[in-house]
Amino acid sequence: MVYVYPAIFTEVDGKGYDIVFPDLPGTHSQGKNLAEAVGMARNALAIWLDSCMQYSKEMPPPSNPAVMKCASGTFVTVIDVDMDAYRRHWAFEFDEEEPDAIDLELLACIDAKRNKHYRPFSEVIEALGIDANDLQNYR
């Protein structure tokens, strides 16, 4: 299923963009240029929605971007994410007997690890003890 939420982009002194999702508390991202910022925003949105799905939390309805007001130097755009494709892409196997043995190297090898036990990305970062909001620090 495809989800669409508005995001507010703020240019930061010509060094890139900060992104926030007003409808999704704590969800934010950044990018060095507009193309990277859009991609990072899509990833942040997917992580937030994946967490809601995993824990059966209700997803808030998206605001109407046409009525959102922005400060000077900011703009609103919508970010979409196909959650079925996202979850297929980030599914991979890990050792059920030793889930704490997962390390950050495994995150770099996700595409190569698709044989037995599939887990959503949110479970992986939870097993690693990483807060999804701090995921930017691990890139």
| Residue 9 pLDDT level (bands cut at 50, 70, 90) | very high
Whether the predicted pLDDT of 41 surpasses 50? yes
Whether the CB-CB separation of 57 and 51 falls below 8 Å is answered with yes
The yes-or-no verdict on residue 105 having pLDDT over 60 is: no
Look at residues 37, 67, 83 and tell me which one is the last residue of a structural domain: 83
The mean pLDDT value of the chain amounts to 78
Please tell me whether residues 19 and 70 are part of one structural domain.
yes
Are 10 and 54 within one domain? yes
Name the domain count of the chain. Answer: 2
Range from 35-44, 50-59, 88-97 carrying the lowest mean pLDDT: 88-97
CA 29/CA 16 separation, integer angstroms: 11
**Pick from 101, 22, 98, 32: nearest CA to 63:** 22
Average pLDDT over residues 17-41: 93
Query: Which residues constitute the domain of residue 107?
Result: 88-138
Domain boundary among 36, 67, 83: 83
Gap between the Cα atoms of 115 and 22, Å rounded:
38
pLDDT of residue 114: 44
- Provide the H-helix boundaries in the chain: 34-54, 83-90, 104-108, 121-127
Question: Whole-angstrom Cα distance, residue 96 to residue 77?
Answer: 40
